[in-house]
Amino acid sequence: MRRALALILVLLVAACSGEKEQPAPTPSPDLTRRPPAIAVDRGPFDSGPVAAPDRGALVGAWIKPEELTHVGRLAAVDGLEADLGRPLSIVNTYRRFEQKVGTSSDRELQAQGATLMVSWATGDNRSILDGEHDALIHKQAAAIRRLRRPVLLRMRWEMDRPNLRPTMWSGDDYIAAWKYVRAIFREERATNVSWVWCPTAEGFVRGDAPDFYPGDDQVDWTCVDVYAGETFAPIGDLMRPFLQFAAKHPKPIIIGEFGVAKAWGSAGRAAWLRDAVRTFKANPQIKAVTYFESDPAGNGPTKQFRLTGDKPAFKAFHAMATDPYFNP
């Protein structure tokens, strides 16, 4: 009986130990080594109506508002600018295919001196090419023309994502739709647009992102979205394949979205951002960077990127934003 009880106790302890066992932690990357210098074309660049600075890089952000209203959008931007002690050069904003550009908050942000970057979620490429959305595209082009000031337009950013393949169809379809939409903008005399081509960093790692490139004659800025989310690695490593691609094209680079997840802790996030600054400076073809200041609803800590409230991480971002290099 004693032996049986002892065996049961051993099994219970083993079972409890198995329940508490945690996966091994991800090794911390070396964020102090020299960052890669790959995209080294210094320009000057023909970047369309939104001029790339001769030296340094512009700083911007998407700031998720508490409420998706005009007042909420302005309050979100004002709050971050107050914390940084400087205005943002670029404000990123997201629009569905049919969602109007040129709202009162768009105009107010422009009046305050910011350049709008419109991330425009266009629809099915083949339906675009069939002419099903011509009226909508004409209306949007006219609305952007009426803004009068230069606008960065990311037409269906992250088009290389596998989950978008049912509407993107293929690289050839995307390129044809890009040219089709640009032709309508020309008809509407919407000449205040700089066209920004922006896949994901992962798409360059897989190797399929370049299939969607419309051509040097069609693109004003090359772009990439890059995150230390599920993987904690230096930004230079994460976007190295993109930098190698961009170095072959005489275009300025904008980092359309970048962020480091809360999962990696305050100290890790701060170190990652300091390394990002070194990487941006080591690659003078990078002329603008826009942070993704948001914790999307329903996402876990590897997909939450807001810096506000994380003092060490925000301090690193503040140091970047107030660095003269990022105030050209």
What pLDDT score was predicted for residue 202? 98
Report the CATH number that the domain containing residue 229 is assigned in CATH: 3.20.20.80
255 found inside a domain: yes
Is residue 13 in a domain?
A: no
Residues with Cβ within 8 Å of residue 188, at least 6 apart in sequence: 138, 141, 142, 145
pLDDT at 8: 44
Contact 79, 47 (CB under 8 A): no
Q: 261-282: buried (b, 16+ CB within 10 Å) or exposed (e) per residue? A: bbbbbbebbbbbbbbbbbbbbb
What is this structure's pTM?
Answer: 0.90
The C-alpha angle with vertex 95 and arms to 203 and 276, in degrees rounded to 5, equals 45
For 2, 10, 18, 19, the CA distances from 15, given in Å and listed in that order, are 20, 9, 5, 6
Asked, for residue 133, whether it belongs to a domain, the answer is: yes
* Residue (of 187, 190, 158) closest to 174 by Cα position: 158
| 87 lies in some domain | yes
Provide the b/e sequence for 174-188 (b: ≥16 CB within 10 Å). bbbbbebbbebbeeb
Task: Please list the pLDDT of the chain residue by residue as tens digits (328 residues).
Answer: 455 444 444 344 344 433 333 333 455 687 877 887 887 777 889 999 999 999 999 999 999 999 989 999 999 999 999 999 999 999 999 999 999 999 999 999 999 999 999 999 999 999 999 999 999 999 999 999 999 999 999 999 999 999 999 999 999 999 999 999 999 999 999 999 999 999 999 999 999 999 999 999 999 999 999 999 999 999 999 999 999 999 999 999 999 999 999 999 999 999 999 999 999 999 999 999 999 999 998 899 999 999 999 999 999 999 999 999 999 9
Identify the sign of the CA torsion 161, 141, 289, 85.
Answer: negative
35 within domain boundaries: no
User: Is the Cα dihedral 53, 244, 224, 28 positive or negative?
Assistant: negative
Q: Which two three-digit tokens encode residue 141? A: 């082009």
d(CA 73, CA 93) in angstroms, rounded, equals 9
Alpha-carbon distance 23 to 20, whole Å? 10
Any idea what DSSP says for residue 149?
S
> Is residue 39 a contact partner of residue 30, using CB atoms and an 8 Å limit?
no
Domain with 260, as residue range(s), is 52-326
Assess if residue 223 is contained within a domain. Answer: yes
CA-based max dimension of the chain: 91
> Could you please report the per-residue DSSP string of 61-123?
EEE--SSSSHHHHHHHHHHHHHHHTS--SEEEEEEETTS-SS-HHHHHHHHTTPEEEEEEE--
Tokens 């339906």 -> residue: 127
Q: Is residue 40 part of a domain?
A: no
What span, in angstroms and rounded, lies between the C-alpha atoms of 222 and 286? 9
Residue 290 resides in a domain: yes
Q: What is the pLDDT of residue 199?
A: 98
DSSP assignment, residue 302? G
Pairwise CA distance, residues 156 & 223, whole Å:
12
Q: How many domains does the chain have?
A: 1
DSSP 158: T
Residue 62 to residues 73, 224, 306: CA-CA distances in angstroms? 10, 15, 10
Distance CA 136, CA 113 (A): 28
Cβ within 8 Å of residue 284, ≥6 positions away: 39, 40, 41, 42, 43, 55
